[in-house]
Amino acid sequence: MIYRKSIQVLVLLCIIVLSACGNDYKALEKTIAHEEQGVEEPQQAVSDAVEITIEPVDENQSYVIKTNIKTEEAWLSEENNAILLRHNNSTGVIKLDLSSLSAVAAPDNMTVKASLISNAQDTIGMAKGELIKVIEGDAFAIYHRINNSDKLIGKLSSKYSSVIAISPDRTKVAFISNDTLVTYNIISEKTVKMQESNLEGLKLDKAEKLLFSPLAGYLTIKLENENGIIGFKSYGADSGKLLHDTIYGIAPVWSHGDHYIAFLYRNSKEPEKRLVLDGVEEVISDKIALFNRKTKKITYFTEFKEPTKIIGAPIWAQEDTGIIFTTGIDKLLDIHLYQLKNRNIVSLSEEEGLKLGNYSGISDIQVIDNNVIYVLNRDAENKELKLVDLSGKGAIVIDGITPVGYQKQDSFEETIYKIIKGRIVYKKGNSLYKIEGFDSKAIIKSKHPLLKLQYLEKSKMLAAYALKDGELEIQLVNIQ
């Protein structure tokens, strides 16, 4: 039997009180009230009531969340062991209780606060509090905001305004202040200067110049001098100690476990080389190398001769079992996996299909278990998903796949497929499918346009967002 419980959540419009104080600060008062019987209607302007219905689908902890929200920008988040539905530019926050099939207005400590600083340019949610980037004359300042208190953590000139990196776990931020690279720890609230990091005279005008390792233990900066010579240095993110001096290489990529950096070798006297593929610039090289963090040694493990070249940055396989890289002449033809355990290179090729004109190229390459998964592009609209077993057990090709949006904590990206809990998840039509082994199975079917998917890490649930008659509907499926 299916039980239904519908709760209406009344979200009051924000009441914004402006005061012309000397430092241009503004106070923002927000009121979220739950509609209760017998309570008088407030006199302020009131937005339409948000209706939430939570329906269990089966015994596998699957649910359908139906709303009257008419925005594609709503998303789910997990905070303090609760699932929150955020909408209306983050001012509307609703707490979902799947066990009781109910929804209530979220407490104030779960709502996203607006910046108290009037001239804030960017606000970024962190593991604790928020970072606020503020315009101050022709320069910028960064504040850490906790409990409505703003702590100045650094000032930077306009030429470094976009050179800011956030660690994957959102516990650290890196930026350049007075030509020195620094990190700020959100948890300990300490700022650390990176040793020997005077960056005066170097080209550092892009955010991608800074790169945190996946576990946030290390920070890498990509360097380019006035002659276009490329290299990179790395530091301990908490200690500030130099991990290695300048390595002349491009496209450094940290392994998932923070143990290695894979990169493309380049001659220290030559500028970076690039190739344009399908309108996208890709870095190229003839060698690929590996930096070992513990031994501080660099290993060059393969080299290709012209006209064949390595195209694009290296990719780490799941669980750091190997490094994936691609080669070709004027398009990607071959995929290679360098296996760290036995130092072998396993290769597979789509050269025949590309030469016959069946495909325009390959993309989105990854390794899971002993399988290589990638996308075969027939053209901009028609794509196929291919899974190849490296031990020779076979391959499968799935046609008709379409890109799908993927919702992160507070950002959004478009993807062809996602690897979630060891499963390959992709979209075909208005449904989501998963691949386990060489079997493909529908996990979420929808009759309505599918907007995006999301994985809730703590709840171990996959969310699929769809629009039904212009209103948002979310399906939640347990995929343990």
Residue found by looking up tokens 């430092």 in the block: 23
| Proportion of the chain above pLDDT 90, given as a percent | 30
More confident residue, 93 or 158: 93
Q: How far is CA 392 from CA 35, 171, 190, 387, in A?
A: 62, 43, 52, 12
Which of these three, 85, 110, 135, is where a domain ends? 110
More confident residue, 198 or 165: 165
More confident residue, 257 or 332: 257
More confident residue, 76 or 200: 76
Does 386 reside within a domain? yes
**Radius of gyration over every alpha carbon of the chain, rounded to an integer in angstroms:** 25
Q: Is 104 exposed, middle or buried (0-12, 13-18, 19+ CB in 10 A)?
A: middle
Does 399 reside within a domain? yes
Q: pTM for the whole thing?
A: 0.74
d(CA 334, CA 345): 12
Mean pLDDT of all residues belonging to the chain:
79
In this prediction, residue 227 carries a pLDDT of: 65
Over range 389-398, report the average pLDDT. Answer: 86
Does 255 reside within a domain? no
Cis check for the bond before 307: say yes or no (omega within 30 of 0): yes
More confident residue, 236 or 352: 236
Does 87 reside within a domain? yes
Flag whether pLDDT at 36 surpasses 70. Answer: no
pLDDT in tens, 73-85: 888 988 777 898 9
Q: How far is CA 466 from CA 34, 66, 97, in A?
A: 26, 10, 20
Which of these three, 60, 93, 110, is where a domain ends? 110
Flag whether pLDDT at 27 surpasses 70. Answer: no
Stretch (H or E) spanning 351? helix 351-355
Which of these three, 71, 90, 110, is where a domain ends? 110
Q: Are 199 and 225 contacting, i.e. CB atoms less than 8 angstroms apart?
A: no
Does 312 reside within a domain? no
- Number of domains the chain is built from: 2
Flag whether pLDDT at 259 surpasses 70. Answer: yes
Does 451 reside within a domain? yes
Give residue 12's domain range.
5-110
